[in-house]
Amino acid sequence: MRLQVNGAEVYAATGGREFDPELPLVVFLHGVGFDHTVWQLLSRWFAHRGAAVLAPDLPGHGVSGGAPLKSIAEMADWTAALIEAAGAKQATLFGHSMGSLIAVETAARHPSKVTALALICTAAEMRVSQALLDAAKADDHAAIDMINLWGHGHRATLGGSLAPGVWMLGGAEKVLERASSGLIYNDLAACNEYKGALEAAAKVKVPVTVVLGERDAMTPAASGRNLAKALPDSRLTVLAGAGHMPMSERPDELLTAVRHLAPGNKLVTSR
């Protein structure tokens, strides 16, 4: 599906079903350098269970037009504009890594547009190592290698995908290699410079589901726990042994942790 958002054409996957703006909207926000493809399984599951789904490529990512946005605040305002462009009033937001910061900031800045949040592999601060920033700024493939290695749990580095024939590390590498020059650096810098997650979290009034990877080297679980504690209404799941990419590493366990967000299901809040 293609939409016009702030004057630029945006592509958003709809989970394999025709988009219906009358249904409850669920928006999936990807992380640094990635695109809508990371949400293939979850977006399809929700689209076939009563939700209108949008898994957009952020501006300048994937096949979306427009220049990459420079800050988490800009990305949050863009997300609110996306909801309006889709003809919806509100949405449940799923965010992975950088996308989780966008989701929290959107809920804080545009509270009337958000009904619930799911934050996957999130953190109170997403500090980026100088080595990674330098490699990304130089468009050095080493940046992709670092993201890929640090972004997957041990089991993923040995294979073990639940989908026969799928190479998790190789697939992630190919998506990151498609990023335009400077894009990965742009996203990493936005995460590194964003210091407002805890302040934004305190303003969030909707139920929040937080899912962390126990062995996540990109957004360590300890920092994710700190963000979860700052949210007034949150429930937390830590996936044992998982790294930073549970959508491919642990899809069944991730679905179990978030399936209550499907339309018609009652949210149950617990610490």
φ, ψ at 170 (rounded to 5°): -65, -40
pLDDT single digits (tens) 40-87: 999 999 999 999 999 999 999 999 999 999 999 999 999 999 999 999
pLDDT single digits (tens) 221-256: 999 999 999 999 999 999 999 999 999 889 999 999
pLDDT single digits (tens) 129-153: 999 999 999 999 999 999 988 877 6
30 exposure class (CB count in 10 Å sphere: 0-12, 13-18, 19+): buried
Per-residue confidence band for 269, with pLDDT thresholds at 50, 70 and 90: very low
Homologous superfamily in CATH for domain 2-261: Alpha/Beta hydrolase fold, catalytic domain (3.40.50.1820)
Residue 82's H or E segment, with its range, is helix 72-85
At residue 249, the pLDDT reads 86
E strands, 48-98, in order: 52-56, 91-96
Strands 208-213 and 114-120: parallel
* Residues of the chain above pLDDT 90, percent: 85
Query: Between 141-150 and 183-193, two packed helices, what is the crossing angle to 10 degrees?
Result: 50
At residue 265, the pLDDT reads 67
Contact 243, 152 (CB under 8 A): yes
At residue 271, the pLDDT reads 29
Residue 68 DSSP symbol = P
Closest CA to 218 of 137, 149, 136: 149
Sheet containing 234-239: give its strands across: 2-5, 8-13, 52-56, 25-29, 91-96, 114-120, 208-213, 234-239
- Prediction pTM value: 0.93
**What is the average per-residue pLDDT within 149-174?**
69
% helix, strand, coil for the chain, step of 5: 45, 15, 40
- Which residue shows structure tokens 């509100």? 90
E strands, the chain, in order: 2-5, 8-13, 25-29, 52-56, 91-96, 114-120, 208-213, 234-239
User: Over 60: is that where the pLDDT of 268 sits?
Assistant: no
Q: In this predicted model, which residue has the larger pLDDT, 237 or 265?
A: 237
